[in-house]
Structure 1
């Protein structure tokens, strides 16, 4: 019996936005002056989260102090990971949360704004 060697599976590098695309996106969201949307885009861009990971974040999952971290508990393959939160991300999230008032730590970080959308689905971010 002959043994066939397995070919290693190549992992694709995630595609990221070019600098000009990223700057254009930030300009567009900034023009709307919606702190929630600005914070969402900042977390996605600067923390490298996927949309599903972002939707699953609770308030307690992000540290707003200096050197803060984002605890991604329900990432791809249900793996946990920790990513740094830049000062800009922390500032934008803090601004958004201050507009929400007193928010319990177990509440979703980003509340959906469309009444016809299930809050547990990604559609609320589109």
Structure 2
């Protein structure tokens, strides 16, 4: 167990992240888990709950012991890098607050790992997903609902949480949507006619009244539609189409970005449409485009 003093400063740091950095709740929970694990290890490593003093004296060997401990219990390089990033952020804030030297922690090198490229669908596969997802439902209005949601993911590049976060007041969909994404970052997203028509078709068939402050997309019993329901129907669809397990709701968003880029879309504009805080996140799609180009080249070029 960590000391009450450490518990208190961790809570204050999380409040700081929430207020000043605009971190999303899921991100804050991940930060809390990562830093709690680190503090718990260091408390045991230093011989029990002793307040802030031992934490302020963490050295290079302590950091090596923690990282070795994490790897020893099966934590992968990617997850460990994420945990270290959270620990550094917390430690930098704590050092400024308490006035100690944080170099030993901040200079710790992150483990190297291969960054995963987004896994978009081919254009024909994305289209087939939209056309086939409605065949999974028994009730026509549910079929129209599922088709509308998946069309929004692909046609507007929305996250599943953003699509399901739409309210009755948002419909009929306008030419552009004002979307609040991760970290309460707001962006403007154009709505294509196909997506608008799909939502209109769903609303005409939905047995529940459109209420301004209620979710636009309803579950079978009238409550808010859960992400799990869309994940499940897409899993059924990809099995029917013979698509890989990577054909998920988020893959439709990846496909939106990749296909825009392949069609000559500007990287900065795509960054804005996706709501990425950093251009480097969006640049992953250029790597996808290059990788697919090389696949085509390898298949077409005569082998020596």
TM (norm. structure 1) is 0.70
Deviations 1:74-109 (A, max 9, x none): x12221112111111111101111222531121111
- Give the structure 2 partner of residue 125 of structure 1: 230
Greater helix share, 1 or 2?
A: 2
Which of 193, 209, 213 is the equivalent residue of 1:106?
213
Unaligned runs of 5+ in 2: 1-115, 232-304
Greater displacement, 104-113 / 45-54:
104-113
Q: Structure with the greater relative contact order (CA < 8 A, sep ≥ 6): 1 or 2?
A: 1
Structure 1 stretches of 4+ with a deviation exceeding 6 A read none
5+ residue gaps, structure 1: 1-11
Corresponding residue for residue 149 of structure 2: 40
| Structure 2 counterparts to residues 17-56 of structure 1, below 5 A | 17-32=121-136, 34-56=143-165
Give me the whole-angstrom Cα distance separating, in 2, the residues matched to 1:124 and 1:72: 22
- In 1, Cα distance between the equivalents of 2:218 and 2:118? 27
Secondary structure at the counterpart of residue 166 of structure 2:
coil
**CA, structure 1 residues 119+105, in 2 after alignment: closer, same or farther (shift >3 Å)?**
closer
* Correspondence for 2:169 among 48, 56, 60: 60
Looking at CA atoms only, which structure, 1 or 2, has the larger radius of gyration? 2
1:106 to 1:13, Cα distance in 2 relative to 1, 3 A: farther
**Cα gap change, 1:71 to 1:62, in 2 (>3 Å):** farther
Distance 1:13 1:86, change over 3 A: farther
**1:16 paired to 2:125:** no
CA contact (8 A) 1:61 1:72 kept: no
- TM-score normalised according to structure 2 size: 0.32
- Give the direction of change, closer, same or farther, for the CA distance of 1:36–1:49 in structure 2 (3 Å limit): same
What is the distance in 1 between the residues matched to 2:118 and 2:167? 25
CA deviations on 1:16-71 (whole Å, 9 max, x unpaired) are 32212202212311434511011011101100001111121112235535xx2222
Instruction: Check the 8 A contact 2:172/2:200 in 1, yes or no.
Output: no
Kindly tell me: are residues 95 and 27 of structure 1, through their superposed partners in 2, closer, same or farther at Cα, counting changes over 3 Å? closer
- RMSD across aligned C-alpha pairs, in angstroms? 2.8
From the superposition, tell whether residues 124 and 99 of structure 1 become closer, same or farther in structure 2 (CA, over 3 Å).
Answer: same
- 2:182 aligned to which of 76, 79, 95: 76
